[in-house]
Structure 1
Amino acid sequence: TPHVEVAVLKQAEEGRGLVLRLWETGGHDRDANLVFPLWGTELAVPLGHHQVKTLLISAHDGTVEAAEVDLLERPAAATGRSTAKSAAPGAEQR
């Protein structure tokens, strides 16, 4: 996505997925479109202007989840939490 940088991509400290930190650099609210070819799916993550957002990415049962976490990889506060889910094509939704 133009004007969105990946600042961090690493294994989660607890080993339960990947940590992805995104930074909106263009000064406008926009969606970051994340493509996961290995899982055959995409996610749209909303970002505010100049926002830095840290996500814990996990995949299971054909579904990819992105849950917002803080810099220490703890779940984000209830008011700032966002979660995105996407099922791979042909995957069963529960």
Structure 2
Amino acid sequence: MGIKETIEIAAKNVGSQRKLAELLEMPEQTLSNLKNGRPHSYQLHAQIAAAGGMEEEARRILIEGIADQLDEKIPHEAEAKAGFLAMLKAFPKS
């Protein structure tokens, strides 16, 4: 799930984008900027999902984010990535 969809669902879950921004202690404009493509970390994406009551999705985002940073050309990183991707199968898809 992309950050735009995450923000929209999280905002709906908490009542509004303004309320979501308050829960995250950030300006509402920051959420608007993220929805419009502003670069962000996978940690922030997960934080937004968690604030919106999407705990399973937050965990999925974190695991995917870690896995994406690993280099498949380096054997120990490739093995770690395979392990993270296997863990993802334990979480239901949103």
The structure with the greater share of residues assigned to helix is 2
Higher Cα radius of gyration = 2
TM-score by length of 2: 0.22
Judging by fraction of residues, say which structure has more strand.
1
TM-score (structure 1 length as normaliser): 0.22
